[in-house]
Structure 1
Amino acid sequence: RGPGAPGGGGESQAPEQQVPQTEDGYATDLASGISLPVPDGWTGKSGIAGAGVTTGEYACPGDTAQECVRGGVFSMPAKALKLDTTTAKATATKDISANATESYGEKIYGGITSHQELKSGPVSVAGEQGYLVRWKVVTKSGDDGYVQSLAFPSPRSKDTLIVVRSGFDINTKAPELSVMDDITKGIKAASGTSGPGTTA
């Protein structure tokens, strides 16, 4: 699957072109100019256009040839997801259903039977004003899940929007929902990247 494939509880999605980790404890998305914190016991993958952190790999319930993860958080430029919205709020709101479908959709989890919005609202990310939408989804087979779409301007280029998709299974082996908040709070501008006219 290309960039923008799911993370969360859904199929594992590594960045297409991986690069060496540029900073200990962080996975860096070079195109977006951000770094995601890698919690203890998680795996981080840096990429040229996208980064990801995952934990708890297992064979997907609907297709055991595919690898699913108990928890995953993935970043990518909004344009990579074909999102043409221009504000963080519109982008997060538009992306959440696609994120839910790709993380917990038909093939792997038998489809989503219902969802409930847990939260939506503005949030500060990497010094920028962003917006997040979080759902709880109920699936037909396999675990239910939490999915979140977060959108905010790139610290490097204010007219470039970034989307960070999160997805966690809901079961005793999956990470606590609070970890999703911790990762959101820990996102920062990548070291060594700088905005126009500033020096890193």
Structure 2
Amino acid sequence: MTQTTPPGWHPDPGHSGIGPLQERWWDGSRWTDQLRIPPATVRRRRIRIGAGIAVGIVVLAAVGGGAYLLGDSSGDRTDSSAAAPAPSESPRLPGAPGGEGGQNGGQDGGEGQSPDQQMPQTEEGYATDAASGISIPVPDGWKGQSGAIGAGVTTGEYACPGDDAQTCVRGGVFSAPAQALKVEATTAKAAAEADIKANAEESYGEKIYGGITSHEELKSGAVTVAGQKGYLVRWKVVTKNGDDGYVESLAFPSPNVKSMLVVVRSGFDINAEAPKLSVLDDITKGIKEAEGSGSASGSGETA
């Protein structure tokens, strides 16, 4: 950039080639520390991973503990551990052949793709969120879904209570950059507190569960995740139809982009067939910096 270039967002000149290309703010004379995911990237992909995360290639919307597949505006289908868009189609995971790359690795990004379209590096036993620079552990029996922007793990498919043509899951944990969720906050605590209501409504909302009649805060406080100081808020929600549930919003700085907050949304049904809350704690502790992201890695643990 020259001094005659007006202030604005431009491709980050320091991009390492790992993960999607971000934009950095040029103030007219120098590069600042402000980074963002290009809005066109988020709009083009039109995905909702987990509880209303508008970020990736497939469109997922949270239902109960997890997500159901809504579709993909591009016409390309990726896999999801959630529900099919119609009863005649099987549930698919982003990460199986033709998808975004799964817990055991994905397809090659292909020649001619821009950095934000390339498949994330993935690790066996983890779902990788390349934009956030983190990997989420996939417990035994769960399904993992990796993405260039966003990732998640789910378990326990069943017919949704409000629409048996769609498939819900008993438990789900999903990540994305806070910006992709439109969470306006500058601290991890503020981000978690701002996101929990939207998380609850997306996870146990009107269409499938008849809406939430009440909620109780079960837990809130500081945590250390992937070596970063974060904050979580956990609610128990009561629904009109079907199972009640637990929802949690966790926020922390990205391990490789310090100016970017990551939000992890979780939802677990309250049901004998659903995973115990201790599993959610184990997943949180196991979140780590993604391999190759460029910073020192470390598992998350409660503070």
TM-score of the pair, normalised by structure 1: 0.93
> Does residue 9 of the first structure (1) align with residue 54 of the second (2)?
no
Query: Any stretches of 5+ residues in structure 2 without a counterpart?
Result: 1-45, 54-60, 70-79, 81-93, 106-121, 297-303
Contact 1:12–1:72, Cα closer than 8 Å, also in 2: no
Q: Report 1:1-200 matches (<5 A).
A: 2-3=47-48, 4=53, 5-6=61-62, 8-12=64-68, 14=80, 18-20=100-102, 21=105, 22-195=122-295
Question: 1:95 aligns to what SS in structure 2?
Answer: helix
Contact 1:7–1:74, Cα closer than 8 Å, also in 2: no
Q: CA deviation at 1:10?
A: 4.6
Once the two structures are superposed, residues 62-97 of structure 1 have per-residue CA deviations (whole angstroms, 9 ceiling, x without a partner) of 112222100000000101111121110000000000
Contact 2:177–2:262, Cα closer than 8 Å, also in 1: yes
Once the two structures are superposed, residues 70-127 of structure 1 have per-residue CA deviations (whole angstroms, 9 ceiling, x without a partner) of 0000000101111121110000000000000000000010110100000000100000
- Pick closer, same or farther for the CA change 1:30–1:8 going to 2, 3 Å: farther
Contact 2:170–2:273, Cα closer than 8 Å, also in 1: yes
Question: 1:65 aligns to what SS in structure 2?
Answer: strand
Higher relative contact order (CA 8 A, sep 6+): 1
What letter is aligned with 1:29?
A: D
Q: CA deviation at 1:2?
A: 2.8
Question: 2:266 aligns to what SS in structure 1?
Answer: strand
- Pick closer, same or farther for the CA change 1:127–1:8 going to 2, 3 Å: farther
Q: CA RMSD in A?
A: 1.7
**d(CA) in 2 for partners of 1:155 and 1:165?**
18
Q: CA deviation at 1:136?
A: 0.3
Query: Any stretches of 5+ residues in structure 1 without a counterpart?
Result: none
Percent sequence identity is 71
Contact 2:223–2:231, Cα closer than 8 Å, also in 1: yes
Q: CA deviation at 1:194?
A: 1.1
**d(CA) in 2 for partners of 1:112 and 1:137?**
6
**d(CA) in 2 for partners of 1:66 and 1:82?**
26
Question: 1:94 aligns to what SS in structure 2?
Answer: helix
Of 57-66 and 151-160, the range deviating more from structure 2 = 57-66
**d(CA) in 2 for partners of 1:107 and 1:11?**
13
Of 70-79 and 3-12, the range deviating more from structure 2 = 3-12
Q: Highest Rg: 1 or 2?
A: 2
**d(CA) in 2 for partners of 1:112 and 1:173?**
21
Question: 1:152 aligns to what SS in structure 2?
Answer: strand
Question: 1:167 aligns to what SS in structure 2?
Answer: strand
Q: CA deviation at 1:11?
A: 2.9
Question: 2:220 aligns to what SS in structure 1?
Answer: strand
Aligned residues: 196
Once the two structures are superposed, residues 10-62 of structure 1 have per-residue CA deviations (whole angstroms, 9 ceiling, x without a partner) of 53465696224311110000000000000010000111100010000111111
What letter is aligned with 1:121?
A: G
- Pick closer, same or farther for the CA change 1:42–1:143 going to 2, 3 Å: same
Of 5-14 and 88-97, the range deviating more from structure 2 = 5-14
Q: CA deviation at 1:6?
A: 2.4
Contact 2:66–2:173, Cα closer than 8 Å, also in 1: no
Question: 1:185 aligns to what SS in structure 2?
Answer: helix
